Chain A
Amino acid sequence: MSDVRIITGNEAASLAVKLVKPHVIAAYPITPQTSLSEKLSTYVESGELRAEYVRVEGEHSALTVCISASTVGARVFTATSANGLLYMHEQIHWAAGSRLPIVMCCVNRGVGAPWSIFNDQQDSFSQRDAGWIQMYCRNNQEIIDTIIQAYRIAESVYIPVMVCYDGFVLSHTMMPVEIPEESTVREYLPPYKPHTEISPEHPRTVNPVFFPWRRENAEGVLCDGYMEMRYKLQAALLDSAPVIERASDEFARLFGRDHGGMIWEYLTEDADILLTGMGSIAAETTVAVDALRKEGIKAGAVGIRVFRPFPISEVRNAFARAKMIVVFEKCVSYGFTGGMSTDLKSALYGSEVKAPVHNYISGIGGRDVKARELSEAVASSIEMMERGDRDNKTFWLNCHTG
């Protein structure tokens, strides 16, 4: 019998980590991630989890410890939020460039300045271009399941995976969560076998200086230049979508829970108006969809579960019939529009989808987001469209200035 407990998102994450049994954990506390790193310390000190826990002096070191431990052949875990993630930024690139299967939780929080401990997704969004896979969770069940899937994905494609979930909204909110059976986790995720390891038996210098051009080694074999290495990261990311889908399908088969692969859909079959988002705000759009349906509006929701690699073909299919797309998001590409909507519009460009994309930047720095506000925003966007205004627009929802 599987075990259902009412727990916070951070506790769900800690239980997932306990189930995947990493060799090395390194973390530095930061709100709202803190209770996750505390819980893991407890598991390690009580002997419930046999891992080396390195209590580092900062987040730059936390990820550095994971990078080097992973290079030696260990399964690793770390977690952070907001400015901690930004402090790691140099190592975020290093981890991806080294092609290491690191899994990290980003408990999403607004970044300073000014200081905010509350939730938005600017932190992980700002790491978008570093070469990681990014997955966003809707609820606490998805947190525990996605972390387990993340190890399977990372260790298949040798790309680090960031599992993102909204701070406080999920990290500190209790929900019923079904805890996976350890034996099923073992079946789904076998013990880690690194594809390369360095040791005195396999001496090599990892990540030395590369030339821009290709170059022969001592045996006359032509080896990659920096550009080829980077191209291979890009190709691997673009090719990882089917791997992510398979990991999700296999998980659904073994555990009986399907959270979608690259995207998930809610009441989309006959929908004209499609709401979209990432993380807990995407879950909230399904409530707004129900409200809109009651008013006779054929609304549906499409959740972006995997933000990188961006689900290009999936969104083209999902939005094919849409008359209007409304994006709710908690991040901004400053000087342009909402972070996710820029990518969504780019993915739809040149496709059959001609629907206007209205973009509502919402919930920045923990500003409350109510389903009613989402449905009202959609209604006003529909009005604009019906008046003949078919432009793509960006609004700041519930932001009262001047």
Chain B
Amino acid sequence: MQENIFRINETEYILPGNRSCQGCGLSLAYRFILKALRENTIVAIPPSCLCVLHGLYPVCSVIVPAINITFAGNAASASGIVAALKALNRPDITVLALTGDGGTYDMGIQSLSGAAERNTDFIFACYDNEAYMNTGTQRSGATPMGALTTTTPILTKQEKKKDLIKIMEAHDIPYLATVSPAYPADLYDKFVKAKRIKGTRYIHIDTPCPPGWGYPAKDTVRIGKLAVETGVFPLFEIEDGKFRFTGRSETLAKKGKRQPVVSYVERQSRFKKMSIEQLNRFQHHVDSRWDEFVRRAES
């Protein structure tokens, strides 16, 4: 199913004047996530940019109910909401745990893994801006090799990004997808689909971040698109184990005209110290991952 952009739910659930940064990839993604899930949704929020976006007491910029909880507990928080709604007989409500990469890759992975193993009936969406952005761009398990952060300020990050999508797929959950706010119709479609599926649904959001990645705020969509065009962040879904490219990545897989990763890397100051060797390794990693996905899509 492909949603026409003109048929997307017109209701706004995030009010203007929220506290996200200019050009925030998360706020763009969140706007379309809530449009897809609609008002019968409860959101679990760990400390993160999302917590800031929601606002500082007593002002709130989002009109769906939300529970703030601690870093390591977001998926458990969602599990508690799901259990309570079941006990209180509210099957109509969708539970969304929307979590940054710190709360997903690092502190939150134990409760996420536990919830996925129990096949808890909720959507866990990781908005991956590839560092601890809310505290000012420190390295996380999601930071790619060669990126400058304030805790890898001279040598850049030396290790590869943790492959969380593989980890989540190993949990054998019914639905897993990647989305980008640069492709809102694709994002919207996948959340509409996820809402209809029972069990743990995991959606990974590539979340460009102007201050953290070092590009002009106006370029968020451009950077998001380059991540897809280069194959750094392919758009796909895995439903009951079946892999399928979607949207622009589906076209790229058919025509095979990906751009080199350098065209993505060169636009972001976080990669300004990336060595040629690191760039080559990055390109090689993207290529081999892409080829693996193409093989899976064809099989």
Contacts and interface: CB of A to CB of B under 8 A. Distances in A.
Contact of B78 (A51, A68, A202, A216): A68
The 6 closest A-B pairs by CB, nearest first: A57-B114, A68-B80, A61-B76, A23-B87, A64-B73, A65-B80
Contact of A209 (B44, B56, B88): B56
B61 to A, nearest CB: 9
Interface stretch (B62-70, B200-208, B226-234, B273-281): B62-70
B64 A68 contact: no
A206 B45 CA distance: 10
A52 interface: yes
B84 interface: yes
B65 A205 contact: yes
B60 A205 contact: yes
Interface of A: 23-24, 26, 51-52, 54-58, 60-62, 64-74, 76, 90-91, 94, 198-200, 202-211, 215-218, 221, 223
Given A54-B80, A64-B77, A198-B66, 4 more contacts: A57-B114, A70-B80, A209-B51, A209-B52
Given A60-B111, A64-B111, A71-B67, A54 B60 contact: no
16 contacts: A51-B87, A56-B114, A57-B111, A57-B117, A65-B76, A67-B80, A68-B84, A69-B81, A69-B84, A71-B80, A72-B80, A74-B83, A76-B84, A198-B67, A208-B57, A209-B52
A64 B80 CA distance: 7
A94 B76 CA distance: 14
Nearest to A197: B88
B90 interface: yes
B118 interface: yes
A70 B80 CA distance: 8
A359 B78 CA distance: 46
B57 A215 contact: yes
Most A Cβ at <10 Å: residue of B45, B63, B64, B67: B67
B55 A208 contact: yes
Contacts of B158: none
A215 B57 CA distance: 8
Contact of A203 (B63, B76, B118): B63
Nearest to B90: A199
A61 B57 contact: no
B79 interface: yes
Interface residues of B, number: 47
A24 B76 CA distance: 13
A205 B83 contact: no
Given A68-B69, A72-B81, A208 B51 contact: yes
B283 interface: no
A52 B75 CA distance: 17
A64 B79 CA distance: 9
Contact of B76 (A64, A198, A218, A221): A64
Contacts of B44: 68
Most A Cβ at <10 Å: residue of B39, B65, B69, B76: B76
Main secondary structure of the interface of A (DSSP, over half): mixed
Nearest to A198: B65
A23 B67 CA distance: 19
B54 A57 contact: no
Contact of A205 (B54, B84, B114): B54
Given A51-B87, A217-B58, A217-B59, A205 B79 contact: no
Contacts of A221: 58
A58 B57 contact: no
A204 B68 CA distance: 11
A36 B16 CA distance: 50
A76 B118 CA distance: 19
B39 to A, nearest CB: 5
Contact of A90 (B41, B72, B84, B88): B72
A200 B117 contact: no
B75 to A, nearest CB: 8
Contact of A56 (B54, B56, B76, B81): B76
Interface in B94-122: 110-111, 113-114, 117-118
Contact of B80 (A24, A211, A215, A218): A24
Nearest to A62: B76
B53 to A, nearest CB: 10
B67 A58 contact: no
Given A90-B70, A206-B66, A73 B88 contact: yes
Nearest to A75: B87
A217 B114 CA distance: 38
B54 A26 contact: no
Most A Cβ at <10 Å: residue of B40, B64, B80, B93: B80
A21 to B, nearest CB: 10
Contacts of B80: 24, 26, 54, 64-72, 76
B107 to A, nearest CB: 10
A278 B150 CA distance: 50
Interface string B15-47: 000000000000000000000000111101100
A91 B73 contact: yes
B76 A23 contact: no
Contact of A208 (B68, B85, B110): B68
Most B Cβ at <10 Å: residue of A23, A68, A91, A210: A68
A75 to B, nearest CB: 9
